[in-house]
Amino acid sequence: MIAENILKQYNAQLTQVKKGQVLFNEGDKANYFFQIQTGSVKMVSYSDEGQEFIQGIFGDAESFGEPALLGDFVYPSAAMALKPTSLWRLPKDRFFDLLKENFDIHLALDKALCNRLKYKNLVLSEISFHDPEHRLNTLFKYLKESLLSKNELVLSHHIELPFTRQQLADMSGMRVETAIRTIKRMEEEGKLFIKEGKIHV
């Protein structure tokens, strides 16, 4: 996360996008650094049959899409707003200026990238080793931690997952029906509970 005063200093523009709006598509050239002010964005890969795999979901104060910028390749997946979102857009060359002149920010960015790598390692080994229940369990643990770290104030030790069954399935490489069935079973086994359709872990 880069402080807003720094972003402004390097000519970042604040723009508003609607729910469902596409920010870029797979194969597009990367020209901007994006950081969310408020809202939520998903990055997704699509199969030829239209199936989705959610590479990541990003929320308030998080940036996304930097790999294509830093690695100098076209976007390997698309980005779409999950709700009305306001985000900072910083042109590529100014972004590189910013990194060059702010070692601490550069390092913080690396940290974020490395955490993303760690997450992908996790999902990869889960998908290749384990059954749906184990995969969802691990995903839930990860999501819980990551949601807690963003939100200092927690009233209960339980937390509501703000994702649909479809999204959870698309993050862990399974079909909706499998996710639904597995989550139901986990509820029966007391491994989570469902309140008004929402999953609590």
Partner DNA sequence: TACGGTTTATGATTGCGCGCATAAACAAAG
Partner DNA sequence: CTTTGTTTATGCGCGCAATCATAAACCGTA
**Residues in region 69-108 near a copy of itself by CB under 8 A:** 70-73, 76-77, 96, 99-100, 103, 106-107
Say which entry of a copy of itself, DNA, none residue 120 contacts (CB below 5 to 8 A, set by partner kind). Answer: a copy of itself
Binder among 29, 118, 150, 158 for a copy of itself (CB under 8 A) = 118
**Residues in region 127-146 near a copy of itself by CB under 8 A:** 127-130
* Cβ 143 vs Cβ 161: under 8 Å: yes
Nearer to a copy of itself, 127 or 148 (CB): 127
Say which entry of DNA, a copy of itself, none residue 113 contacts (CB below 5 to 8 A, set by partner kind). Answer: a copy of itself
Q: How far apart are CA 196 and CA 201, in angstroms?
A: 14
Binder among 15, 31, 37, 45 for a copy of itself (CB under 8 A) = 45
**C-alpha of 190 from chain center:** 28
Q: Which residues bind DNA (CB under 7 A)?
A: 131-132, 164-166, 173-178, 180-181, 183-184, 194, 196-197
CB atoms within 10 A of CB 176: 14
**C-alpha of 41 from chain center:** 7
Binder among 5, 18, 47, 197 for a copy of itself (CB under 8 A) = 47
Buried b (16+ CB within 10 A) or exposed e, 47-62: eeeeebbbbbbbbeeb
Say which entry of a copy of itself, DNA, none residue 200 contacts (CB below 5 to 8 A, set by partner kind). Answer: none
Dihedral sign from CA coordinates of 107, 112, 115, 121: negative
Say which entry of a copy of itself, DNA, none residue 86 contacts (CB below 5 to 8 A, set by partner kind). Answer: none
Residues recorded for the chain: 201
